[in-house]
Amino acid sequence: MTTHSGRHFLQIPGPTNVPDRVLRAMSAPTIDHRGPEFAALVRELLPALGPVFGTERPVVIYPSSGTGAWEAALVNTLSPGDRVLASETGHFATLWAKLATGLGLDVELIPGDWRHGADPDAIADRLAADEEHAIKAVCVVHNETSTGVTSRVPAVRAAMDAEAHPALLLVDTISSLASIDYRHDEWGVDVTVAGSQKGLMLPPGLGFNAVSAKALAAHADARLPRSYWDWTPILDANASGAFPYTPATNLLFGLREALAMLNEEGLPAVFARHQRHGAATRAAVRAWGLEVLCADEREHSGSLTAVLLPNGHDADEVRRVILERFDMSLGSGLGRLAGTVFRIGHLGHFNDLTLAGTLSGVQMGLQLAGVPTKPGGVEAALELLREAGE
């Protein structure tokens, strides 16, 4: 293996680069999770977490990956055989639907082309036809990490309201939270699912559920088996600054620091930064003469961009060349997109010059891998960054 100097460029769309401040905060001695110092940490953390989700309601924290938080959202609100409506926006929406089926739920996955977000009209049609209100939940992946497409959650909510349908709205924000504007309370979301390893700038290992009053009411009657994921013992313990089982103490130290960083920058500025970086990346891709996978101008992701390669070119070969020559990791094409797209992560702890370096590596890698490209992609991005910064 080649030896590289300098820092590795981790430009996959999560896990993302962990800021030094967060790393330092985590490298502290683990404390007694039943002691007063830990209780003070929990009492500080929980209220500080709400604004990131846009909620004044409780947020449950799990020592888990995002998949655990997916499962938690379902087992806490639904019963065996309940109907669930989901949209096939990409690999992660498909995996969530598969997980739901595995739990004994009756899932309808509205087919999609993996280039668009959840279609509010298609959801409205299914809900309108469901006169008996057999559908108990609508699941939406806010930002499809496999495609770089952001679904319009408020439009989905409006479609549900227009049909006066009582289904719960469950939203996966694993690659949008703290990167793309998101409002749990204002948008009427019932359960928001999140993870630590993307916009929150932490290592993998924490999962989250933000819970509406309606979701908590559904929880009281839900009959899917649950134990580890059960919200009730967690919410009860949280009230006294504790958890019902050993929490991921050092990740919580990191979370406190990451929330402080997000507050210092301000969430609106964080969202605007991600949008600028998305726009600059698309400017580069288009100047190279390549295609962005997302096919709807309203749905471009601020946290990642998936780039389609021309027929006959292997996206994994481009990624291999870039890793070997420039020590940069890019996201692979997932599921049916394997080999045809690569994904540029521009989320989390990231700035204009990190993006400039990232796009320079991509441009050189495309040329070295023999992908026909026009020059000027990096220049197009720099121009946009310079102007947008004025």
Ligand X SMILES: Cc1ncc(COP(=O)(O)O)c(C=O)c1O
Q: List the interface residues with ligand X, window 191-230 (CB under 6 A).
A: 195, 204
Q: Would you say 313 or 349 has its CB closer to ligand X?
A: 349
Name the minimum Å distance from CB 198 to ligand X.
7
344 interacts with ligand X by CB under 6 A: no
Beta strands 207-211 and 59-62, pairing class: antiparallel
Site for ligand X contains 305 (CB under 6 A): no
The answer to whether 96 and 172 are in contact (CB under 8 A) is yes
Q: How far is the CB of 80 from ligand X (least distance, A)?
A: 23
Q: In one letter, which amino acid is 304?
A: L
Shortest reach from residue 91's CB to ligand X, in Å: 8
| Least distance between ligand X and beta carbon 148 (Å) | 11
DSSP H helices, the chain, are: 20-26, 36-53, 66-75, 91-102, 120-129, 153-162, 213-221, 231-239, 249-265, 267-287, 315-326, 352-368, 377-389
Tokens 């846009």 map to which residue?
A: 54
The least CB distance from residue 247 to ligand X, in Å, is: 17
Residue 172 binds ligand X (CB under 6 A): yes
Q: How far is the CB of 309 from ligand X (least distance, A)?
A: 21
Phi, psi (degrees; rounded to nearest 5) at 380: -60, -40
Task: Provide the minimum distance between the beta carbon of 112 and ligand X in the complex, in angstroms, as a whole number.
Answer: 14
3-class DSSP string for 122-171:
HHHHHHHHCCCCCEEEEEEECEECCCCEECCHHHHHHHHHHCCCCCEEEE
- Pull the structure tokens for residue 89: 């926006």
Range 40-43 contact pairs with CB under 8 angstroms and sequence separation of 24 or more: 40/241, 41/241, 41/252, 41/253, 41/256, 42/238, 42/241, 42/242, 42/243, 42/252, 43/241
Q: Which residue has the tokens 């291999």?
A: 320
Closer to ligand X by CB, 163 or 190: give it: 190
Question: Between 109 and 385, whose beta carbon lies closer to ligand X?
Answer: 109
Is 14 an interacting residue with respect to ligand X (CB under 6 A)?
A: yes
CA distance 330 to 346: 10
Residues 50-79 touching ligand X, rule: CB under 6 A, are 65-67
Binding-site member from 16, 77, 147, 175 for ligand X (CB under 6 A): 175
Residue nearest to ligand X (CB): 66
Instruction: Return the number of the residue (151 or 340) whose C-beta is nearest ligand X.
Output: 151
Q: How far is CA 27 from CA 110, 214, 247, 250, in A?
A: 45, 39, 16, 7
Find tokens 């001695």 and name the residue.
Answer: 29
Q: Is 174 in the site for ligand X (CB under 6 A)?
A: yes
Least distance from C-beta 176 to ligand X, angstroms?
Answer: 8
∠ Cα 207 210 212 (to 5°): 155
Residue 92 in the binding site for ligand X (CB under 6 A) = yes
Q: Is 141 in the site for ligand X (CB under 6 A)?
A: yes
Minimum Å distance from CB 246 to ligand X? Answer: 20
Q: 14 or 254: whose CB is closer to ligand X?
A: 14
- Residue placing its CB nearer to ligand X in the complex, 148 or 241: 148
Stretch that binds ligand X, among 20-28, 171-179, 225-233, 353-361 (CB under 6 A): 171-179
Q: Identify which of 314, 340, 344 has the alpha carbon closest to the alpha carbon of residue 328.
A: 344
Radius of gyration of the chain from its Cα atoms, rounded to whole angstroms: 21
Of 33 and 343, nearer to ligand X (C-beta) is 343
8 Å CB contact between 100 and 86: yes
Size of the site for ligand X (CB under 6 A): 12
Does 145 bind ligand X (CB under 6 A)? Our answer is: yes
Binding piece for ligand X, criterion CB under 6 A, among 115-123, 168-176, 213-221, 272-280 = 168-176
Identity of the residue, 250 or 360, whose beta carbon is nearer to ligand X in the bound complex: 250
Interface with ligand X by CB under 6 A: which range of 170-178, 287-295, 315-323, 354-362? Answer: 170-178
From the list 116-124, 169-177, 322-330, 346-354, the region that binds ligand X by CB under 6 A is: 169-177
- Please give the residue ranges that form the binding site for ligand X (CB under 6 A): 14, 65-67, 92, 141, 145, 172, 174-175, 195, 204
